[in-house]
Amino acid sequence: MNQVLERLAMEGGVASTVQLQLAGVSLSAIGRAIRSGEILRLRSGWVGLPDGPPEVLRAVRVGGRLSCLSVLRHERLWCARDDRLHVRVANRATHLAAPHDRRVPLGDPERWGVVVHRSRRAYGLDEPVGPVDTLEWALLHSIACQSKADAIVTLDSALNKNRISLTDLAFLLGELPPSYQRYLDLVDGTSQSGLETKARLGLHRYNIPYRTQVPISGAGRVDLLVGDRLVVELDGREFHSTNTAYDEDRRRDLALLEQGYLVVRLTYDQVMTEWGRVIALIRALVAREEHRWSPRHRRAGLAGPAASAISP
């Protein structure tokens, strides 16, 4: 493998000619590799291996860096479902190109399945050297790119996986218009999944008291506890689809029912597409005070010490 190919491989398959020169690769060697077809000229000052990461190659051809949801998916953070290519370009960038051919003007980005993000100002963030945005840059643009609920899902996921601190998140939100800064009051780093965040925000909207990840004897931590005894469990597709997981979920349900808890177990689709029906049920249970321990429960010896739920 010649020096150009070796260095490009070390850089992940895509790099600027400046990066390559700083690593000791000459411009003449880069030019020869382009003419021979060993590497691709993606745009002025940027080259890549023909078998480099497809999304990165396309983003650089457009005229920017891979960013926003396209980065978050690779980082395995919860975010909105969107298969389009998200590219961050300079705020005043012109002459953007189609992702498949640098000689074709971009025109309407939607035609090519591209979302162009004009770069926001972020005085505390350094520009990445390579063709892929850092997590902080990707998060910054994803907050405004997604719906409020999906943005909170993403931020919860980043906090839960220790990819960002509350302090750094406050800084990022401070770079956005004031309306986004209120998101800081809605995030919860204990949230274990996007489903949990969606359900939590759905309860918050109606001022229904809840706690997250509450430990209960014999059952472990439950996803959401509404009031004193209404347990809401969320069955995501990733962790609840095996026979072993199914059996464990039912064991936990039985242990909760033995102690007097009321269990509502929801599937992915029920949270994502039938939430109106779900919240109507939960509001009805709360209106009937079924989320609280009653004197009848206490006489039966079912209710433990009443624990005050944290109102949203």
Q: Tell me which residue has tokens 């177990």.
A: 265
Q: Which fold, 194-299? A: Endonuclease; Chain A (3.40.960)
Closest CA relative to residue 227, chosen from 120, 297, 310, 287: 310
Helical residues (DSSP H) of 96-242, grouped into ranges: 135-145, 148-160, 166-174, 178-181, 194-205
Distance between CA atoms of residues 90 and 125, nearest Å: 14
Q: Interior CA angle at 174 toward 125 and 145, to 5°?
A: 80
The reported pLDDT for the residue numbered 243 is: 75
CA-CA distance, 301 to 68, in Å (whole number)?
A: 52
Q: Which residues in the chain show pLDDT less than 50? A: 239-240, 305-312
Is the distance from CB of 33 to CB of 40 less than 8 angstroms? no
For the chain, give the percent of residues with pLDDT over 70: 95
The one-letter amino acid at 302:
L
Domain boundaries, the chain: 3-52, 61-185, 194-299
CA angle 301, 214, 195 (to 5 degrees): 125
pTM for this model (two decimals): 0.84
pLDDT for position 308: 39
How many Cβ atoms from other residues are within 10 Å of residue 290's Cβ?
Answer: 15
Query: Which candidate, 208, 165, 220, places its Cα nearest to that of 187?
Result: 165
Identify whether the C-beta of residue 51 lies closer than 8 Å to the C-beta of residue 13.
yes
Q: Rounded CA gap, 311 and 300, in Å?
A: 28
